[in-house]
A and B are shown apart, each in its own frame.
Chain A
Amino acid sequence: MFLKSRTIKFFLIYYAALLIWLGTTAMHIPDGYLSPLTCLIMFLIVLPFWVIGIRKIRETMNARSVPLIALLSAFSFVIMMFNFPVPGGTTAHAIGATIAAIILGPEAATIVVSIALIIQAFFFGDGGITALGANSFNMAVTVPYISYAIYRAFSKNQPLTSPRRLVGAAIGGWTGVTVAAFFAGVEFGIQPLLFKSANGTPLYAPYPLSISIPAMVIPHAILASVAEGLLAALVVAYLQRSNIAVLQAAEKPAVLSEVGIWQKLRVPLIILIALIVATPLGLLAPGTAWGEWGTEQLASQGLSFIPSGLEKLSGLWGAPLAGYNLRALGNASLGYLLSAVLGIVVVTIVVWLFTMLITAGGKTRERKNS
């Protein structure tokens, strides 16, 4: 519409987004950004993870679990307050979900981080109460499961003092928070598509996916994800040096789960795939990118997309790239920037799936990773 302001608007967004995330806590979505329907769906998505977590805690820790979970939740809360220096001259807040997952396993870590989030929301007004489902999904489910899968893939059959564990913790923490930021971006981005007033005014978070995803993913990939990964790796290094017993104790539930990490991750994975396939997102994601060119295109796409989940998945990733090719933007560097973001997201997900495959197929050695 207004070509001249187009470049300006992108600078505005990136500048604002970077500013905001420089000083703030990772990704606590406040009340008011997400529609009630989104909040409800996010609660429903998180619910099975809470059930799995509580069941797991009961199985493995029984009566002892109450003080253990309480103390570790308090630990997670305190960790979220630390200003962790990241390379490049600023600080960011880690979530501590990676450490919790390494020590307790992802199921229990979900409960630990969720409790820290609930206390932040209910007693300190940090992060929304209605957005608790979304925040728990992003920070208490996504981060622990992803970071743990990667950490396990790297540390499998490795001695407790192996440096590979540090690499696993670092990559795991970074990937976990980056993917969580991506999900937060998706949650923000579907708001203007689904919830507008009659004249098209967005009622909640106003930015479409094409803006909200890079605005969440880029600053996190540079700051909060780095903080999470570095902190996790340094804590593991510290434990290796001076308190190996904690890591040793952490191996026990992990050894148990080694038998069926695929079974363990199957449920979340199915939910994740269902999330991508079943929500209107799959249809609406190409909608934003192509909407500027024509609606009949969208309609035909929408129809052809429904049958196969795989095609939809590729459409989901491909569409924003197609929408923001260099021509459309008229600015090469911005195009590169956006492609880079998409690259990060795609690589992240590929790495995640890859590590999960490695961990699942027990025979495969991790050498493939290097």
Chain B
Amino acid sequence: MENTSSLKRSSKRSDILEHTLHGITETLEQALFAEEISARAGLFQSLDARVKVISILALLIGVALSHSLFVLLAIYFLTLLFAWTSAIPAGFLIKRVWLALPFFTGLIVLPALFITPGPAFLHLPLGLIITQTGLTSAAFLLLRVSTSVSLTLLLILTTPWNTVLSALGVLRVPDVFILILGMTYRYIYLLLHTANDMFLSRKSRMVGRLNTSENQKMLAAVSATLLDKSLSLSSEVYLAMQSRGYRGTIVTLKSFRMQSKDWLWLFVFLGITTLSIVLGR
């Protein structure tokens, strides 16, 4: 069964390698882009990372709690305004969110237009009826998702990851956890590069096309090799840590200093959140 299907689809199958390669490259690119933006001069870049993490989390909760489309829309435009003042390329957030959104949330929410019970809003051919409640419900979901994604992107793009990590310490996230998060983040790149190399070397030695089961075996071999590498690397890293004096206790460098500007913006963001929760009731 597997053979026949792979014969039929062999043209599609050959792209699996490239598809994965493309995904890996994209992730690496995205991180570089974020690094570049976070080095620019702008409103969000100038703020203390703790303020940013707390504010964005507060605003995300505000967005989640809001029962008013108007409030959601207001927060969305505020986010765009903050992005604009934070040297994020004009239209980047809009493009990033609204080019992807219709394919995911848009498709998910489409049938809800018709099947949510409520008064009719618009009659379409084939006996389909868009209901008022369906339309509002879809608007809620789309706005909520787009605003949340924009807020998260605002944080990601303007804050180097290691400062986000240190800032998480403020939120009472245990040090061990932060250390692990930081190491994971660092080794994701190593493993991504390793996987990239493995796929590339495989591709450069390939003449024909792989069928389904060959593809599966190839991916499994790459995964298992990666697993093996991760395991042996972890013991090497452990030895390296030990030889540098690691005994199971963690010391992190926290050199945050709140300035009056940070306090001001913290109050602004918390004010916006409170206002949105009150107005959005």
From residue 57 to 72 of chain B, which have CB atoms closer than 8 A to chain A?
A: 57, 60-61, 63-65, 67
Is the Cβ of A67 less than 8 Å from the Cβ of B241? yes
- Closest chain A CB from B135 CB (angstroms): 9
Is the Cβ of B230 less than 8 Å from the Cβ of A74? yes
Q: Is A64 in contact with chain B by the CB < 8 A criterion? A: yes
Q: Which residues of A contact B (CB under 8 A)?
A: 1-2, 4-5, 8-9, 12-13, 16-17, 19-20, 24, 30-36, 39, 54, 62-64, 66-75, 77-79, 81-85, 87-89, 91, 96, 99, 103, 115-116, 118-119, 121-125, 128-130, 192, 197, 199-207, 211, 230-231, 234-235, 237-239, 242-243, 246
Q: Across the interface, name the chain A residue whose C-beta is closest to B136.
A: A201
From residue 131 to 168 of chain B, which have CB atoms closer than 8 A to chain A?
A: 133-134, 136-138, 140-141, 144-145, 147-149, 152-153, 156, 161, 164
Is the Cβ of B191 less than 8 Å from the Cβ of A74? yes
Q: Across the interface, name the chain A residue whose C-beta is closest to B249.
A: A63
9 contacts between A and B (CB under 8 A): A67-B238, A70-B187, A78-B191, A78-B226, A119-B185, A121-B152, A122-B156, A123-B31, A202-B116
**Chain B residues near A75 (CB-CB < 8 A):** 191, 226-227, 230
For the side of the interface on B, what is the size category?
Answer: 35 or more
Is the Cβ of A71 less than 8 Å from the Cβ of B187? yes
Give which listed residue, A32, A84, A230, contacts B148 with CB less than 8 A. Answer: A32
Q: Is B23 in contact with chain A by the CB < 8 A criterion? A: yes
- Closest chain A CB from B109 CB (angstroms): 7
Is the Cβ of A234 less than 8 Å from the Cβ of B220? yes
Q: Is B274 in contact with chain A by the CB < 8 A criterion? A: no
Q: A87-B1, A206-B134 are in contact. Are A16 and B227 (CB under 8 A)?
A: no
Is the Cβ of A83 less than 8 Å from the Cβ of B148? no
Give 3 closest A-B pairs by Cβ, nearest first: A234-B220, A31-B148, A32-B144
Give the docked Cα–Cα distance between A243 and B108 (Å): 43
**Chain A residues near B235 (CB-CB < 8 A):** 64, 67-68
Interface stretch, picked from B7-15, B83-91, B253-261, B262-270, is B7-15
Q: A36-B64, A201-B133 are in contact. Are A85 and B184 (CB under 8 A)?
A: no
Is the Cβ of B234 less than 8 Å from the Cβ of A68? yes
Is the Cβ of B148 less than 8 Å from the Cβ of A30? yes
- Closest chain B CB from A138 CB (angstroms): 17
Is the Cβ of B221 less than 8 Å from the Cβ of A197? no
Is the Cβ of B191 less than 8 Å from the Cβ of A85? no
Is the Cβ of A74 less than 8 Å from the Cβ of B145? no
Q: A118-B181, A124-B30 are in contact. Are A83 and B23 (CB under 8 A)?
A: yes
Q: Is B217 in contact with chain A by the CB < 8 A criterion? A: yes
Q: A83-B16, A89-B12 are in contact. Are A203 and B140 (CB under 8 A)?
A: yes
